Amino acid sequence: MKAVVIGAGIVGTSCAWFLARDGHEVTLLDPREPGTGTSFGNAGVLSVESCLPLARLSLLLSVPAMLFDRDAPFRLRWRYLPHLLPWLLRFVLAARPGRARELGEALFALVGRADAAHDLVIAECGLAGLVRPTGWLKVARDPRRFERATAEERAALDRFSLPYRILGREELLALEPALGADLRRALWLTADRHVASPLAYTRGILRAFEARGGRWLQARATGFLGRGAEVAGVVTDRGDLEADLVVLAAGVFSRALAAAAGIRVPLEAERGYHLMLDPENCPLAHPVYGIEEGFLLAPIENRIRLTTGVELASPTAPPDYSRPRRLVPKARRLLPGLTGGIDSEWLGLRPSLPDGLPVLGRAPRSANLYLAFGHQHLGLTLGPSSGRIIADLVAGRDPGLDLAPYAADRRFF
């Protein structure tokens, strides 16, 4: 069949590769170079132990204090508040305890399938050199703060029987000697893997897609051909493309395109920054999240990438790099050898629905429009498994899980 995939981030490129692998004739559309949207700048963690939904009571209770702390991992640009209110309201409702538990289970049902899809991608696209079984460290100086900050996560890890270790100071420094000697506790999520270059990973999948006859077309989708239950193709700024099936995987920009197909989804950007820091003599081996600092440091492309928490603002608002820059001295306390300067700065748009689950599956009332967007903080982790699920649906294979929690017409809270 002739397929068009809209968006060449990790999600769309994975969809395109899995479809091409099934023998479909696939065109992948993106106005930008593949992999250079949000998928470019993430922290590279294959976070297969993520089983806590973002919307939860403990997080909501910490928001008021964070709003008045200039270095907190959460920021709201107040001008955007009126637009954001319906999303925020749903987010708050999604955090009620019974619902948060259901959402955690639905999230884990996806995350639990991620490793197998990555294994397939790594083996068949020849990407083993990019991925290392490091786990992910969450470190703290104050043992009491560590207990408080990780208790809920450890309970969830136990509930889902996911492996982890608690490390004291000596064990932590033996594992990661570059870390500051004042750190006293770490949660080591041992099953997570780390991708040394998220861009090279998406590009590697793209190469394998092209080797199977897939085509990347530099074009912007603006709408759909056809009406009613079937789309007949995609309207682009370079002309119309006819297709038997279409996959919408344009990250946060999927909202407007979904609306063009009559589908309304409360998709917003959880913006996040990164700084690339010159490591000089600071060989970091693991991704490390500073619990007291609220940001992550990871070895990416021979640099140390500092990735921040969430800024809620319009996707088009100009970046404010003053906040991530202020974190550099704290990064140097975590990694005392980190004396080099900032090489580059970047802003990305995590595509997020208020209940923290992506939209994944066939579009409501449509025979041949498929949706794969809204992967929030976990798009690198969930990209390949999402591509596999979409290809299964197209082929009429059982994807092996109930897709109702990810439907575009669910209630989102």
Site residues for ligand FAD per CB under 6 A: 6-12, 29-32, 37-39, 41-45, 47, 220-221, 249-251, 253, 257, 272, 274, 307, 348, 350-351, 373, 375-381
> Between residues 263 and 380, which has the closer beta carbon with respect to ligand FAD?
380
Q: How far is the CB of 219 from ligand FAD (least distance, A)?
A: 7
> Between residues 48 and 172, which has the closer beta carbon with respect to ligand FAD?
48
Q: How far is the CB of 60 from ligand FAD (least distance, A)?
A: 21
Which class for 365: exposed (0-12), middle (13-18), buried (19 or more C-beta within 10 A)? exposed
Which class for 340: exposed (0-12), middle (13-18), buried (19 or more C-beta within 10 A)? middle
> Between residues 279 and 309, which has the closer beta carbon with respect to ligand FAD?
309
Q: How far is the CB of 297 from ligand FAD (least distance, A)?
A: 12
Q: Give the count of beta carbons closer than 10 Å to the beta carbon of residue 141.
A: 18
Which residues fall within 8 angstroms of residue 306, CB to CB, at 6 or more apart?
A: 274, 275, 277, 295, 296, 297, 324, 327, 328, 331
Give the three-class secondary structure for 178.
coil
> Between residues 44 and 279, which has the closer beta carbon with respect to ligand FAD?
44
> Between residues 141 and 406, which has the closer beta carbon with respect to ligand FAD?
406
> Between residues 176 and 192, which has the closer beta carbon with respect to ligand FAD?
192
Angle at 57 between CA 52 and CA 60, to 5 degrees: 105
Q: Give the count of beta carbons closer than 10 Å to the beta carbon of residue 70.
A: 8
Report residue 170: phi and psi, to 5°. -65, -45
Q: How far is the CB of 94 from ligand FAD (least distance, A)?
A: 18
Q: How far is the CB of 169 from ligand FAD (least distance, A)?
A: 26
Order of strands, edge to edge, in the sheet holding 221-225?
221-225, 233-236, 239-242
Q: How far is the CB of 248 from ligand FAD (least distance, A)?
A: 9
> Between residues 358 and 405, which has the closer beta carbon with respect to ligand FAD?
358
> Between residues 49 and 176, which has the closer beta carbon with respect to ligand FAD?
49
Report residue 116: phi and psi, to 5°. -65, -40
Q: How far is the CB of 144 from ligand FAD (least distance, A)?
A: 27
Question: What would the two tokens of residue 32 be?
Answer: 């930008």
Half-sphere exposure of residue 84, counting CA atoms within 13 Å on the CB side?
19
Q: How far is the CB of 372 from ligand FAD (least distance, A)?
A: 8
Residues in the chain: 413
Q: Are residues 246 and 4 in contact, defined by beta-carbon separation less than 8 angstroms?
A: yes
Which residues fall within 8 angstroms of residue 195, CB to CB, at 6 or more apart?
A: 44, 45, 46, 130, 131, 201, 380
Q: Are residues 186 and 290 in contact, defined by beta-carbon separation less than 8 angstroms?
A: no
Q: Are residues 59 and 150 in contact, defined by beta-carbon separation less than 8 angstroms?
A: no
> Between residues 142 and 320, which has the closer beta carbon with respect to ligand FAD?
320
Q: Residue with structure tokens 């897939």?
A: 214
Q: How far is the CB of 324 from ligand FAD (least distance, A)?
A: 10
Helix (H) or strand (E) holding 171: helix 169-175
Q: Residue with structure tokens 């990555």?
A: 118
> Between residues 173 and 225, which has the closer beta carbon with respect to ligand FAD?
225
Which residues fall within 8 angstroms of residue 117, CB to CB, at 6 or more apart?
A: 14, 384, 385, 387, 388
Q: How far is the CB of 132 from ligand FAD (least distance, A)?
A: 14
Q: Give the count of beta carbons closer than 10 Å to the beta carbon of residue 274.
A: 23
